[in-house]
Amino acid sequence: MSETIFSKIINREIDADIVHEDDQCLAFRDINAQAPMHILVIPKKPIDMLVNAEADDQALLGHLLLTARQVAKDEGYSDAFRLVVNNGEAVGQSVFHLHVHILAGRDFSWPPG
C-alpha cells in the first residue's frame, strides 16, 4: 500500500486531533466534518480497502468497531451514532487506507447518499 495522509498521521508526520490511540488503531477528528461529531477510526496496519482485508484481519476489524463504539460513548453519543465505511472511489472513498467514520449530533436520513 502506498503512503497516505492517514499513514502520515499514524507516523506523526502530520498533526491531527487524536481522541484515541492503542496498539492497533488511531481515532481522530475529521477536518472536513459532516456532523457535529465526525471522527475517523483507522487501523495502524495498512489496509487500503475493506475488500482487501484478509481472514487474519478479522480481530482487527472487530477491534475497529468496538473502538468506534467506545469513542462515540466517550464523546457523549453512546445511544445514537452512524458508522460508515466506504469501499472504493465510486462510493466516496478518497483516502485509500481503511477507515470507519463515526458521525453523530444531527439527524440523518435513510437511505444515505
**Of 20, 38, 97, 99, which is the active-site residue?**
99
Query: For the chain, where are the alpha helices, taking DSSP H only?
Result: 5-10, 58-74
As given in the structure block, the three cell numbers for residue 55 are 481472514
Q: Do the strands 100-104 and 25-29 form a parallel or antiparallel pair, or are they unpaired?
A: unpaired
101 is catalytic: no
Burial label, 36 (beta-carbon count in 10 A; 0-12, 13-18, 19+):
exposed
CA dist 47 and 55 (Å) reads 12
Residues with catalytic function = 99
